[in-house]
Every structure is written in C-alpha cells, then in structure tokens.
Structure 1
Amino acid sequence: MDESLDSRLAGMAARLDRLRELDPPKREAFSSMRTAGRRPGGYIMFGADRHGHRNQPLTEAQLGALEGAMGVALPGDFRAFLERIGTGAGPFYGIDRYQALLRDATPECARPFPTGERGPFFTGDDDDDGLEHGYLPIIERGCGDEVGLVTAGPRRGHVVNIDMGDQWILGPDFLTYYDTWLDRSIDQLSRTPRPTHVYWVL
C-alpha cells in the first residue's frame, strides 16, 4: 500500500476512535426506547443506531468476490479502505455490509458512468428503469435514496448522490467524502453545549 494512503487511513482509524469516544451508546436511551416499542436511540449521530460506530474490514477473498461479480476492479483507494477500515461506520446509515455490497455488485458496475456533474435519474426512454450502470451502491441515505461509488468511467472513485426518481449529483472522491464526514461529525459532537442529534448532509 502506498505510504501516503496508509498514513491517511491510519488517521481515519484514529478519528473513528475519537468519534466512538464522543458518541457512546446511552444505556438509558436503549431502555426507554425499548419500552416504547421503538428502535433504540442510544446515539447522537444519525444512523449510528444501525452501525454503532463499528467497522468490519473485508478479507482479500471478499474483495475478490466483489470484483469478480462486477467484472471490474474496485477503485484503489476504496479497496484499501475496505481492507483497512471496512464496512460499518460512515455517513447516513453507514457503509453497507459486505452482503449488501455483494448483492449490488453486478456487471452493470463495469459500464461507464454518465459524464457531467449531475443528471436525471430517468432519461425519459420508454424502457428506462433509471440509472443502473457505472456505480456500486455503498450507503443507504433513507427513503430509497443512496450514495454510490463510481466504478467505471472518467469519474471512477468519486461518490455520487442518488435521489431515486429525481437526479444524481457527483461528489468528491471517496476518501475526501469520508474525511469530511469524520471532521464535521467530530466538530459537531465536540461543541458546547453538546448537541442532542447530529444529522449528516452531503
């Protein structure tokens, strides 16, 4: 692994540790929410109830299976991220688990993603099922919306914000996107008075 990339990922791992310190699960919240018959709400960060600020690195065999299913190699920085840090803690509901990534890893990922900075989700063709190629869904935003990783084409390695039924908007490269989430999350959780809820916005 490139030394600068290794150093960057080590910095991310350290900030993830800091994030866990700033937003631990609250036992009293879990207890009260269970009695109300709803999902436990033990974290300040939106989405952390699902991933608990935990990450699960992927094995070489799992990474190879993803690439085999897609018919194209994962972008290098994202591959290194999955190997070193893994799925789990991340923006919105977090980086999708391996099983979900594998489910969405299809040969469509090897077809070039559309050019430009944004575009419609539907093109208007009679047989149009929406944007389906050139990216791997990696983050669930809620209400059917998602964040994808461009896997083929000139913007390979960038994230793309996908509003189902509306439009897609290209974002930065994945590591910059994740860095920004970490920095903003830690900044907001470190404020006085402490927030009661932190929601990530792209």
Structure 2
Amino acid sequence: MMFRPYLIGITGGSASGKTSLSNRIQEALALDCTLINSDYFYKDLTPLQLQKVSEYNFDHPDAFDFVEMHHTIWNLMNGEEVNVPIYDYAHYCRSNSFILAKPAQFIILEGIMALYDTKIREMMNLKIFVHTDSDECLARRILRDTEMRGRDIKSVINQYRKFVKPAFDDFIFPMMKFADIIIPRGAENKTAFDIIIQNLMSKKNK
C-alpha cells in the first residue's frame, strides 16, 4: 500500500448510536473505508454455557475473543485481506461463513468493546466515544429488540438491568477517558459528524 491505514475506534453503550455513526462515516468515505464490528468476535459458547444461555453475559469482556480481534486488525493495518468470522446468534457460535474484509485507507472498529483491549487501542489514530442518556439507550434497545428480534419488553428490561447497564458502568464507560472525541447523541449530532468527516477527508491519501 502507498499509505498507512488510519484506524478509528468507535464505542459507547448499547443502543447509544455508535453503529449508526460508524455507518454514516463509512458511507461518507465510501471505498476508502472498511468497517469491522467487535461483535464479530464473540466466543463460541461451550455446551455447559448453552445450557444456561439466559445467564450468559454477552456484554462482559470475557465474551469476546480479543486475540482474534487484534490479529484481524493487525493484518488489515498491514495491507492484508482478512476473512472475518460471522457470528451465528441463533446457535451462539461462529458460522462457517466469513466476510472478506479488505485493507483500506480508513478502518473502523466499532462496538461496545472497540476500545477495551490495550493492544488494539494503541494502534488507533482516532478514538470516539458516543455518549447517550441511559434512558434513551434503554428506550432504543426496547424498540430494536421487540421490533427486530422478536423479544418481549420484560425480557429486554431484565437483561438490561442484569447485564447491559452493569457492564456499561464497569467496562464501557471507563473507556471514555481514552477517547479523543466524545459525541453526545451519536449520528444525530450533525455538527460533530461534519467536523469528523472534514478531519478525515483532510487525511485522505496522506
């Protein structure tokens, strides 16, 4: 490659708007950008964990394979194409299918654990934390999970109270101190979005 890829990390709580922001940045950068979601790197559940899947905390760092995540980002940063695993949420394991991720000038790693791993974080050129009111996050999560994932409101709220909110307080919110930019309201914050795009456009092919 004629350039060193520019790695962007985008994190925030569940339903904070980080995915929408990431997608908008990728659309603005077009073919110059590859987007990777940290959810691709969920670990396969063991038979014992599958027996108690309702008790499994998918919002805890232990649920993620950071070694594979680091390996994937490292290879992309060094100009290599990578087969990124597709996680099968129905069976709680990686499927036999992959997404071919190609190196690009801009690489985005987004997700609740995007800034958690020190080795990955140290490779990043820009770290963004999307900060949205917790009540708004819960409301968005209820709408998403009931309309798109067929879940009932009670189960969504129970999971939020038991796993999602505690994980945010313990593991995700502390990552704010590493952020270069903190964006209230995510992709809805047009001013912040425009500033980020202007900054990234100025770095194209440099």
Q: State the TM-score bracket (shorter-chain normalisation).
A: under 0.3
TM-score (norm 2): 0.26
More helix by share: 2
More strand by share: 2
Name which one, 1 or 2, has greater alpha-carbon Rg.
1
- Higher relative CO (CA 8 A, sep ≥ 6), structure 1 or 2? 2
